[in-house]
């Protein structure tokens, strides 16, 4: 089960944007404490489903960097790690043509695979990558995303593990970028217009 974010009258404590980021970040959507708590809970869900079996974690570059590091440190399972690189060319925030920039190195045939991405938005990326992995005949493929922005979904796809459902805003931080900036923010924030790209 994912954590539904309540943006108004939230029971979740809202955090102030650190002064250093005031010009660029409109608000903190998910703070460090909420991220840490949810990542731990996700790890427990995944452990339960994988029942101690070795898992090949396949993470998509580069937005998963922080989520992945936190998630695998919490995962009490034997695991091997590999990465895939996917870029979309299409302008703005729309996912355009997908190009693979890094292929899998490990053989996943007959293996249990956990595919990890930062955000499920239109669903094109996860759908395409999952199909590519499925063609390699893993024993089982599960998908895990930190964020689920279902408002813009065009593909019929859902992730098996979701950290947070979020509204239709462009988010940055905790690995997510805008033009390769802001990945280092320890929280997930909303980019301030007019910096914010057209959704």
| Closest approach of ligand XMP to the CB of residue 105, in Å | 20
- Closest approach of ligand XMP to the CB of residue 70, in Å: 17
Measured from the CB atom, the residue of 72 and 171 that comes closer to ligand XMP is 171
Q: Is 17 in the site for ligand XMP (CB under 6 A)?
A: no
82 an active-site residue?
no
189 binds ligand XMP per the rule CB under 6 A:
no
Applying CB under 6 A, the span of 40-48, 69-77, 129-137, 171-179 interacting with ligand XMP comes to 171-179
Catalytic choice (112, 117, 118, 121): 121
Q: What would the DSSP string read from start to end of the chain?
A: -PEEP--SS-SSPP-PPPGGGTTTEEEEEE-HHHHHHHHHHHHHHHHHHHTT--EEEEEEETTTHHHHHHHHHH--S-EEEEEEEEEEESSTTS--EEEEEE---S--TTSEEEEEEEEESSSHHHHHHHHHHHTT--SEEEEEEEEE-GGG--SS---SEEEEE--S--EEBTTB-BTTBSTT-SSEEEEPTTTSPP-
CB of 169 to ligand XMP, least distance (A): 7
Confirm or reject binding of residue 28 to ligand XMP (CB under 6 A).
Answer: no
User: Which residues lie near ligand XMP (CB under 6 A)?
Assistant: 60, 63, 93, 95, 117-126, 170-172, 176-178
């Amino acid at each position: 089960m994912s954590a539904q974010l309540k943006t108004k009258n939230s029971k979740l404590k809202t955090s102030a944007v650190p002064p250093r980021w005031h010009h660029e970040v409109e608000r903190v959507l998910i703070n460090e404490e909420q991220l840490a708590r949810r990542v731990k809970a996700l790890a427990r869900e995944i452990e339960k489903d994988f029942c101690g079996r070795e898992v090949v974690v396949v993470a998509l570059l580069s937005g998963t960097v922080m989520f992945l590091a936190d998630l695998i440190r919490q995962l009490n399972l034997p695991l091997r790690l590999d990465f895939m690189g996917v870029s979309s060319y299409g302008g703005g925030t729309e996912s355009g043509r997908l190009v693979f920039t890094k292929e899998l190195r490990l053989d996943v045939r007959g293996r249990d695979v956990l595919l990890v991405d930062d955000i499920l938005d239109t669903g094109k990326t996860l759908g395409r990558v999952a199909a590519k992995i499925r063609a390699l005949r893993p024993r089982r493929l599960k998908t895990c995303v930190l964020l689920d922005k279902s408002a813009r979904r065009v593909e019929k796809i859902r992730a098996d593990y979701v950290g947070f459902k979020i509204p239709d805003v462009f988010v940055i931080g905790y690995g997510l970028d805008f033009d390769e900036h802001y990945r280092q923010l320890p929280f997930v924030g909303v980019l301030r217009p007019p910096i914010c790209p057209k959704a």
